[in-house]
A and B are shown apart, each in its own frame.
Chain A
Amino acid sequence: MGRGRGPGRWAARAVVTAYLVLLVAWPLWLVAQHTFADGLDQLRGIVDDPDVAHALRLTVVVAILSVVLNTVFGVGISLLIVRYRFPGRRLLNALLDVPLSVSPIVVGLALVLVYGGRSGWFGPALEDAGLQVVFATPGIVLATTFVALPLVIREVVPVLEEIGTEQEQAAQSLGATAGQTFRRITLPAIKWGVTYGVVLSLARSLGEFGAVKVVSGNVLGETRTATLVVEEKYLNFDQGGAYATAFLLALVAVACIVVVSIIRPKEEPR
């Protein structure tokens, strides 16, 4: 069986290739085709539209903020989980995966119930203090950060477990401070894991739709993000604009995956 020879191998190849082409490659290709049906007009059209430009800027700013938050939190909590023993550690480890399997709509609802300005648990108090969360940018950042939370952790934890603690202990016994040990030993060892997690988080953050739809209020020129533009344009029969915006988002997503697939093999021969 080993490498699989004969007609079975060809059949498997053909089935897998056909499946992936029909499910992913061909539909993606058609979106690109729709986008460039009139040359560059449609792309130029959406970039020139001030509302779309604002939505794209907002999306990028929110994504960067949430990636930074998730990277700092993710690396920190990964170190704590792998390197320390404390009560509730296993429970915490399991809970950290929760955001991956919660419906984006439920994420939005959960945030509204706590941070909603009218009847949320903390919302009214925060608004009295001058901070509006739901239907404003902070809510979009929270929603985006929520859905992408586990991605950095899932990449960093296995690497930390694999590298062990020998080098860190050696550094510390030679008098390095905790900060020096982290900067000189731990960080270089986990840097590809972190990079991979950051790229995945970025792709996920740029593309969040459901949770943002619930918490943003979708106000034109204020809290409308790029994914909401795609929906709104399509439903308003501006298919060209929808395809062009979708193409931009898809381009970034595919670029992220390609970057990751280039990074990955470098990591393997260890």
Chain B
Amino acid sequence: MPVVAGGRLTRASGLGLGVAMLWFSLLVLIPLAAVVATAAAGGWSGFWQAVTNEQTAAAIRLTVGTAMLVTVVNVVMGTLIAWVLVRDRFPGQRALEVLIDVPFALPTIVAGLVLLSLYGPDSPLGVDVANTRAAVFLAFLFVTLPFVVRTVQPVLAELDPEVEEAAASLGASRFTTFRRIVLPALAPAIAAGAALSFARGVSEYGSLVLLSGNLPMQTEVTSVRILSSIENDNLGNAAAVATVLLAVSFAVIVALDVIQRRVGRRG
């Protein structure tokens, strides 16, 4: 474990903490509290009505369902990508490393346009998913690409291959070695990456604007629903639906904290 000083606050650091907390509150905490307060102001029935509105409920179902599906794909592909990047050496690997981070740094609206160029009406592959549910899946898959890879990679790099070699020399098959040795060690990192990927998918907006067409009941995601409530000046409705998304983010953060503490205890 790293050495950390358990220093108590001095007068200067106390002042610093005060200023930092004031800024953090003004920027993040008070605005987020305002969302929940505005949702609560409509009462439980108002909240329930806003959230169970047919179109909104369809949007929430689509968003959560697609985010789950994408997370499953990311768990498999992300782990495989991390495996190849850590355990294999081949020319062009450095380029793949850069590609993994592209979705993280690329503006989301540009991500939508980028995907549209290969999977839109002018697709050189002849695959046109624009304005379909497949477009929502594709956009989520793109923006969540880095999460599982980047959480699994460092853990895999630390893993000692000798343990696996020992298992293999004792007669364990490749599959057994992977299941009994590698997977348990990677599981917390995979879970953390999956949680981040799910949270990112659920909250996605920008990449869908040009790609999914935002068709009500079909390709409209939760963020788009919130935006149309804002544009119709129905802030109460927007806040109610936003509170659902905030609850999902909060659940993910709690889950991450639990996972990290469990890992910390083991290490």
Contact = CB atoms under 8 A, between A and B. Distances in A.
A-B interaction = yes
B235 A30 contact: no
B101 to A, nearest CB: 5
Contacts of A111: 31
B112 to A, nearest CB: 9
A27 interface: yes
Contacts of B23: 73
B51 interface: no
Contacts of B177: 1
Interface string B96-113: 111111111111111001
A104 B38 CA distance: 18
B267 to A, nearest CB: 13
Contact of A108 (B3, B168, B222, B230): B230
A181 to B, nearest CB: 12
A83 interface: yes
B158 interface: no
B215 interface: no
B203 A106 contact: yes
A103 B205 contact: yes
A1 B164 CA distance: 7
Main secondary structure of the interface of A (DSSP, over half): helix
Interface centre among A1, A104, A162, A254 (most CB of B within 10 A): A1
Contact of A105 (B5, B38, B205, B256): B205
B206 A104 contact: yes
Interface stretch (B42-50, B80-88, B128-136, B183-191): B80-88
A119 B41 CA distance: 14
Nearest to A108: B230
B40 interface: no
A83 B4 contact: yes
A86 B9 CA distance: 7
Given A84-B13, A110-B34, A254-B102, A166 B107 contact: no
Interface string A129-173: 000000000000010011001000000000001101110010000
B216 interface: no
B57 interface: no
Contact of A25 (B99, B104, B108): B99
A249 interface: yes
Contacts of B224: 105
Interface centre among A101, A142, A204 (most CB of B within 10 A): A101
Main secondary structure of the interface of B (DSSP, over half): helix
Nearest to A8: B174
Given A80-B13, A261-B97, A207 B107 contact: yes
A254 B98 contact: yes
B114 to A, nearest CB: 4
A5 to B, nearest CB: 10
A76 B16 contact: yes
A227 B204 contact: no
Interface in B58-79: 77
B99 A214 contact: no
A145 B100 CA distance: 24
B246 interface: yes
A113 B96 contact: no
Chain A interface residue number, banded? 35 or more
Given A1-B174, A25-B99, A27-B118, A209 B109 contact: yes
Interface centre among B4, B90, B252 (most CB of A within 10 A): B4
B30 A101 contact: no
Contacts of A54: none
B98 A258 contact: yes
B263 interface: no
The 9 closest A-B CB pairs, nearest first, are A207-B107, A103-B203, A110-B31, A164-B3, A101-B199, A30-B117, A203-B105, A113-B34, A161-B2
Interface of B: 2-9, 12-13, 16-17, 20-21, 23-24, 27-32, 34-35, 38, 77, 80-81, 83-85, 87-88, 90, 92, 94, 96-110, 113-115, 117-119, 124, 141-142, 145, 161, 164-165, 168, 174, 177-178, 182, 196, 199-200, 202-206, 209-210, 222-224, 226-227, 230, 235, 238-239, 242, 245-246, 249-250, 252-254, 256-257
10 contacts: A20-B99, A27-B119, A28-B114, A96-B24, A102-B246, A110-B242, A161-B4, A165-B4, A227-B107, A227-B110
Given A8-B174, A104-B203, A227-B206, 18 more contacts: A1-B164, A1-B182, A20-B100, A28-B102, A73-B23, A80-B20, A83-B13, A98-B32, A99-B28, A100-B199, A105-B230, A110-B32, A206-B107, A207-B109, A249-B106, A253-B102, A253-B105, A254-B102
Interface of A: 1-4, 8-9, 12-13, 15-17, 19-20, 22-28, 30-31, 34, 73, 76-77, 80, 82-86, 92, 94-115, 119, 121, 142, 145-146, 149, 161-162, 164-166, 169, 178, 200, 203-204, 206-210, 213-214, 227, 230-231, 234-235, 242-243, 246, 249-250, 253-254, 256-258, 260-261
